[in-house]
Structure 1
């Protein structure tokens, strides 16, 4: 890895590095909670924002479609914010993205429902979800670049994984809120007002994240490029398209695996186990709480492993575990779910392999176009694969049965193994 990735060649994390990682991870957790809490309330939203006589599966499919719209909007925010992040600085865009997330999250919590304003309700829900997608499109890749450029080169794996772990803590917070509301409120109270609470809380969280990011400083890498006048004169994205196509392809392929792991095993499984396997809501969200916590730990494990053995080997090891854990979880559910919580925890730990993905992408692009290259690749891939996954899984389950989610995750895990093997082969060729 190039020493240009960080401002020092020391392998240790100093107090300033740790403070930056902590603030970035905390802010990321609060923002990602805002983005993902939507899916935990897919069932009440499907009842409130569509006609009461809609078929249950069709209403849920429509809600998953609105959820997916947030992913489809990600490239717009990611590409625009990345352009200015490569031209004006990482920190400014890092703060703007979290503000753009807080506003629509608060708005969703205040929306009237279908019974009050008819078809305007789902349309407004769709609009606010799109704005959330624009915000997160700049947040996630910008956060990875920000932390990677703040730490020593040999600690980039831990830095990116700590940020990813922070994002997954946002999922855990959403799961805990959903579990708490399902446990403390009756089904009718949840429909009457309870579903609004997580979005109102999220809006407050978002503005807290804006305040936290005031304490962060610009990355040493960007400051050095600015001082040496090495910033790209034209469009950074044009240079990415002309000179860094292999890096774009690599980034998009590993992002596909990441989307399958996160969207299917972490975000959709709580609803799927209720609708497909008859698991009670309280047990479904208990399992998700445990899995989300295990995911946060898994990210740190795989990030540290990446620093020790290299990201390609860590990816290969983790993709094998992801395939096995996904099948173990869904085969147990098909057999009655006797070990659901324990196997969901194991699956969450296996999903931690996503902590390796940003390391591969950060290394793939040079500093001058890193934000634009990573953001465009990641967000376009997430828009295509993450956006299509929720409705696709809904259709696959209906057509092919209960193990369809595990089959899909396994296919992307095989893709991750293939990428890892190609990277390892390239490393061996360079060493000869």
Structure 2
């Protein structure tokens, strides 16, 4: 099996096929995560349209709860679609995920509001979000396995970092488009009707992503596993536990520092809606640039040094950074601090996709990696905006989210410290 991956780097034709497959998966992934992320960036408008307006704080919490509950379906999607990826191939699983995500996104864009149908509106919103969550459960692990198995083993960190770069890129498109609409149309229009536009635009990505993913080949390691039959090493529950602990900080940092921050800076720091979105746009742009640099660096230095440094930074930085934010920081300072958070996340997101794929043998990689990663995201990441907002409401302190991030950093640091270095080893 390792021979099939080694040939990717040695054979120019195989190398060209590898790059084509990775780039196609990356572009499709950008489209997928735009659809998924735009929900959080328009949380304020969704709260006004799908929940009673009498209590804005309660409506916002309810919206974040729907965001989190939607991610509860990620483990189920990881198991079902991941299993499909292990039995029928990575390619058909990735085609299914992008079609499901496009459908869920269009549904949100055309839903009637609470003012029109009452309690049926949030119920339908939740149903659409569950469909999106099921899709992402299979997408993340499937695309990570696909990229890892198509990568030149000497540059696996760099090529698999495109997976996280595309996650950040999709989120960047979502927040950037939301910021542009908010700046050009105004908050009133966004809250009234224009919130639908990003969701409807997202639905157009489905046919494009389908075409891209149908044009690529199945991965050589998967084909080798099919040829081997029942022989060879299989993924185990121990591998899944390692991946679960590995993922906790990754998902908490992403959802607190990036997804939740537009709401935090608007509601707690009194930035305008447009300023909050533009600050997050800047931080996501920095992340998109930094991730492949860190992925390439992990091929030289190893995965663990970058991962452990990220954990350390996410333990050290939150208290001083949030203290500065809560002391009346100006808009440029808010942008700078969010970019610093992006730097800390990029260390993890650059090395992380290769490192988590390398935990698992190819046989069962898609199922076990998808489900363990998705379970950690569902518990700790999907509810991160809700937990952060709830901690602030309960304690009355704008600093409250820092404890959540720091605890996650400790858990992931201990997990990663116990893993072997896999940067220069062939896939099993």
Shorter-chain TM range is over 0.9
Which digits, 9 at most, give the CA deviation of each residue in 1:87-143, with x for residues without a partner?
Answer: 111101011110010011011100110111111000000000000001111111000
Of residues 203-212 and 105-114 in structure 1, the stretch that sits farther from structure 2 once superposed is 203-212
Q: Which residue of 2 aligns with 1:3?
A: 2
Does the 8 A contact of 1:79 with 1:375 survive in 2?
yes
Matched positions, count: 417
Match of 1:341 among 315, 335, 354: 335
CA contact (8 A) 1:9 1:152 kept: yes
Look up the SS of the partner of 2:354 in the other structure. helix
Do 2:302 and 2:422's aligned partners in 1 also have CA atoms closer than 8 Å?
no
Q: Which residue of 2 aligns with 1:215?
A: 215
- Following superposition, the deviation at residue 191 of structure 1 comes to 2.0
Equivalent residue number for residue 20 of structure 1 = 21
2:163 touches 2:353 (CA, 8 Å); kept in 1? no
2:383 aligns with 388
Give the structure 1 partner of residue 401 of structure 2: 405
**Contact 1:148–1:160 (CA under 8 A) maintained in structure 2:** yes
Q: For 1:277 and 1:231, locate their aligned partners in 2 and report how far apart those are by CA, in whole Å.
A: 58
Cα offset for 1:67? 0.6
Aligned to 2:358: 363
CA contact (8 A) 1:298 1:351 kept: no
Per-residue CA deviations over 1:42-85 (Å, capped at 9, x if unaligned) read 111111111222x1111100000111122101111110111111
Contact 1:106 1:199 in 2 (8 A): yes
Structure 1: gaps (5+ residues): 428-432
Deviation readout 1:334-389 (Å, 9 max, x if unpaired): 11123111121121122112232222221111111111110111111111112332
Match of 1:176 in 2: 176
Q: Does 1:351 align with 2:345?
A: yes
Q: How does 1:84-99 map to 2 (within 5 A)?
A: 84-99=84-99
RMSD: 2.2
Moved more, 122-131 or 244-253: 244-253
CA contact (8 A) 2:8 2:150 kept: no
Greater displacement, 348-357 / 335-344 = 348-357
Q: Where do residues 319-334 of structure 1 align in structure 2 (5 Å cutoff)? A: 319-334=311-326
TM-score (norm 1): 0.91
Partner of 1:430 in structure 2? none
- Please tell me whether the aligned partners of residues 253 and 415 of structure 1 are also in contact (alpha carbons under 8 angstroms): yes
Q: Is the 8 A contact 2:32 2:170 kept in 1?
A: yes
Contact 1:262 1:351 in 2 (8 A): yes
Question: Partner residue of 2:426?
Answer: none
Which range moves more in the overlay, 266-275 or 318-327?
318-327
User: Can you list the C-alpha shifts for 1:160-202, whole angstroms capped at 9, x where unaligned?
Assistant: 2111101110000011011111101122211221100000011
Is contact 2:8–2:18 with CA below 8 Å preserved after alignment?
no
Q: C-alpha distance in 2, partners of 1:136/1:179?
A: 24
Superposed displacement of residue 228, structure 1: 2.9
- How high is the TM-score relative to the length of structure 2? 0.92
Q: Is the 8 A contact 1:230 1:368 kept in 2?
A: no
Asked if 1 retains the 8 angstrom alpha-carbon contact of 2:355 and 2:422, the reply is no
The CA distance in 2 between the partners of 1:373 and 1:7, in whole Å, is: 24
Tell me if the contact between 2:314 and 2:409 (Cα under 8 Å) persists in the aligned partners. yes
